[in-house]
Structures are given as structure tokens and as C-alpha cells.
Structure 1
Amino acid sequence: SGPITEAPEPQPVPNPEPAPQPEPDRQPEKPQPDPNPIHEPEPPVTAEPPVIPDPTVTPDEPETPVEPVIEAPQPDPSSQPEDPQTEAPQPADPQPENPHPVDPLPEEPQTEEPQPEVPEVKPTHTAEILMILPEGKTHIAYVPIELYLIDPDLNTDPNVIETAEVLLFSYDYFESVITMTEVGPDSDHFQAFITPVFEPGEDPFEFRVCELYTIGAYIDYYDPVNAEGETNYLRSMAFDIQPFEY
């Protein structure tokens, strides 16, 4: 007989399980707390101190990208909000500042005024001469005599009326100073109580004897600067006046 072949047993076909359909109305169940929750010991919460940027840490922080965000608000308060703050104290400042400018103002003109008055006219002359009335020449009191200066002009500035001093002396040794004044700013003619003197020349002076016993006069004046520019040299002249004898 031939080989016996066993027919394969029919295997049961698995029934397809219906796919679970999602329930639209059903909401997911929320986990309900246990009725008897077990509290585990929580670790002690340590409050971390706020991170304060130390001056030493600031140079290290610019490397992090977080710093540029912090730097941006810093310039804003420094520029805008500080302006009204600085402007607020200003109204208080002008009050103390007012007395300060008031004090120097009156003092400055006072110091400036005496300064121009201090400089005096310096003598600018380079000659000296002594002249005496010739012997035998007499003069009657109250009669003017004329004196002509032969050497340089006494009129050193044609734009200013100049003066010269005359020293008078008498028998009783009484001395008095008389000032003779130039007739005009551009004139060589000077006038005083007692004046002129002898030989004809330049720059006539007119003197008038005011005292009966005046016997002499001494004139000090300054000569112009010489060619070398020398200055401050006194030029003088003296003469005798003999009063009329009764």
C-alpha cells in the first residue's frame, strides 16, 4: 500500500476583533488623589540669594549673551530720567550764585579806575642848565619881565596843555612854588605870576612878581629826549630878581 498522507487539520480562523472606536463624548479620566496619600519628606527648600552682579563679576558677564539685554535699560535711565533730576536742583543753585556775581561787579570797576590814574608823566629830557640874571640888571616889583629859553622846547606834547613849576624865594628865605601853564596845547607860550627871563630865544615865558621882596626864581622843567633816546634828565634854570629899592 502507498504512503499514508494525513490531511492537515483545519486550523480555526481567528475572528477579527472589532477596532476600538474612540468615544467622542468620553473624557480622559483624571487621576484621583489617593485617599491616604503618603507624604514623602520633601528636601528643605533653600532660598537662593538673588544673584547680584559683583563688580568683579561684571567683566566676566559681558561674555554671556544675557548681558546685552541688561545693559540696554541702563543707558536709558542714565540719559533721560537723570535730566529732570539734575534740572530740579538748578532752581536752588541760582539763589546762591546771585550774590557771587554781584560782589565782583562793583569791585572790578573800582580796581580799574585807580589803575589809569597811577601812571604819572615821566620826565623825558636830557639837558641841564643854570642861568643867573646878569649882574647890574634890576627889576621893579609888579613889573613883568620876560625870559626866553634858548635850548630845547619846553612844549613836549602839542596836544596837551603842559605846566612847569617855578620856585620863588625872598630876602626872608620864604619860598613858594608857582605853576606856569601853557597858553594853548600847541603853543610855546607859558604864563604865571612871575615870568620870562633874558636873552631872546625860543619858548617865551611870562612871569610876574607878586611879592615886593621877591629876589629870585628857580625853574625846573624837563627837556625832550635826545637822539640816543636818553630820558629822565632834569633841566633847570635859576635867575635873580632884584626889587626896586626906595
Structure 2
Amino acid sequence: MTSNTFSKLSIIIPAYNEGNTVHLILDKIKQVCLPQAIQKEVIIVNDCSTDDTEIAILRYKENNADLPLYYFKHEVNKGKGAALHTGISKATGEYLVIQDADLEYNPHEYSILLQPVLDGFADVVYGSRFMGGNPHRILFFWHTIGNKFLTFISNMFTNLNLTDMETCYKLFKTDTIQKIRFRENRFGFEPEVTAKIARVPNIRIYEVGISYYGRTYAEGKKINWKDGFRAIYCVLKYNLFSKG
């Protein structure tokens, strides 16, 4: 895929109880101007939210017809990974990027993720919260240590030198990631996709620095220490014991 034929970016948004912020992130996405006249396609998957997430999304869709927005809903809560599986399967752009429904990641930085692709160097681009000079909210020491530890052990098995395996911002060539069969329904998606994408023949993986506007648990952050242990298990499972 060359930049000359790259015409649409699919933006995959898993949403669970994000009724207070989902319209704000959609506003940011709507305002983004992508380079080389690349079009946007927003695919949002409501993972059986119990708040007004669905109302907020449908209201936004009705009032913003100029933003191509496709809405899907899980009838039972399955987890972030499951919502991503659904969203990825529905993507029609040449590339896709994962975007959380909260305000921790800034859609105006899509151009940073896209640049290695447009320059003809990359098939996959990770946005790292631990490199570059962009703003980073100061929050949890042990959460940061945990992220770096997970990245370290993931790198040991994949032989990659990533600085942030757990980042939300990952950009993939759509036809490549749609060929991968995913099993993890929660936050284990991150180590699983990293292990499996690293095994794709001749894959070119790049990393760029991004900003990070993290949330506290009181503000709605959902990942916890149990997900950290599951991530360790997934690193081992998908690098040592499972190749499918």
C-alpha cells in the first residue's frame, strides 16, 4: 500500500459507560484534518454500556451527518478487546487506528502516527507515551512501572524494542490485522496483538511519541491490577504457547 492509494483511515472506538465524554472525543475527531486528503471513517462499538452512552452516540450521529460514523452494539458486556474485534472486522479503510472513547489520547496526533506510513516506511505504528516531548499528565508511579515491565517482557519474546506496548494508539494496515484471529476479550488485547503482529512476515513496525492526558480512577479509568496480571499471562501465552 503506498501513500498514493491510501484514501481512508478507519477509527475504531470501543465504548463502555463513556456517556459523559464520547461526544467530546467525537468532536475532536471531527475537527481533525488528515494529510493528503485522507478521509475518516469512525466505527464505534458500545460494549453494552449501562449509562447513556448509546443515547449520546445516536444523538451525535443524528446532529453530525457530515462525519461518517457507524454504530454497533454488544447486547452483553464482553470487554474492550471484544469491542475492538467487532470494530476491526467492520473497517473498510486502508489503515485503521484504535481510539479510546475517553479524553486520554488526542486525535489531532493522528498525523504523527500516519507520517511513517505516508513516507513509505511503516505498516504498523505504535504511539508511545514514554518518548518524545509532548505533554504527559503525571499520575500513578506503579502503573507506569507496570506498563514498562509488561513492555519489557513482551519485547523479550517478540524481539522488538518498543517503549510502550500497552498504548491505546496503534495504527495498522487493515487487511493485515483483519487476517489475525484474536482471542482476548479484555485488556489482554494489547500483548496479544503485539505478539501476533510481530510474527507477520516482513512487517515494518515504527513507534512515535505522543501526548497522554491520563484519567484517575475517580474520573473513570477502568484498567486495574488484575488486568496487569492477565497481561503477563497473555505475553507468555501468545509468545510461548499459542501461535494461532
TM-score, with length taken from structure 1: 0.19
Larger fraction in helix: 2
Q: Which one has the largest radius of gyration?
A: 1
Instruction: Give the number of the structure with larger relative contact order, counting CA–CA contacts within 8 Å between residues 6 or more apart.
Output: 2
TM-score in terms of structure 2 length: 0.19
